[in-house]
Amino acid sequence: MAVKQVTVFIGNKEGRIEKVTEVLRENKINIGSLSLAESVDFGLLRLIVSDPEKAKDALKAEGLSARLSDVIAVEISNAPGSLHELLTTLKDYNIEYMYVLSNADKASMIMKIKDYESAEAVLSKSGFEVLKQSDILI
């Protein structure tokens, strides 16, 4: 049930994120969540989008380095302690990175975990709602 995440490797300079959003806009691809991490020379823009394959292909056609990764999206309540409960459930897993997709009532944590299928099973067994791509964006 993994969600496909688009990762774009971008130069650490002005206008590079704008180029990514321009390509997505032109291809009518909606962004549900994103995370930007940077180093001295480059950045990693991670995106959950409405059509990951189309986004990857469109970005590559514009000369941008993009790839798809499997991540877990799990819904938690938007209340104190919810994230701690989720992380306690996953205490035996190495979470490489995570970011949030949130609204007023609920939050969804996007997580990169190497053994995502096993982690999804543990989460489901523990009562967490593991989301599919179609649950995130219409």
Range of the domain at 111: 70-136
- 109 and 75 together in one domain: yes
CA distances from 80 to 9, 37, 42, 117 (A): 34, 26, 35, 27
Of 24-28, 108-112, 130-134, highest mean pLDDT:
24-28
Quote the CA–CA distance of 110 and 74 in Å, as a whole number.
7
pLDDT for 97: 94
- Structure confidence by residue, pLDDT tens digits, 46-102: 999 999 999 999 999 999 999 999 999 999 988 899 999 999 999 999 999 999 876
- 103 and 114 together in one domain: yes
Decide if pLDDT at 136 tops 80.
Answer: no
- 75 and 50 together in one domain: no
Quote the CA–CA distance of 92 and 90 in Å, as a whole number.
5
pLDDT for 137: 65
End-of-domain residue from the set 69, 85, 120: 69
Instruction: Work out the pLDDT band at 104, boundaries 50, 70, 90.
Output: low
**CATH number for 129:** 3.30.2130.10
Which tokens hold the place of 13? 């300079």
- 18 and 46 together in one domain: yes
Domains identified in the chain, total number: 2
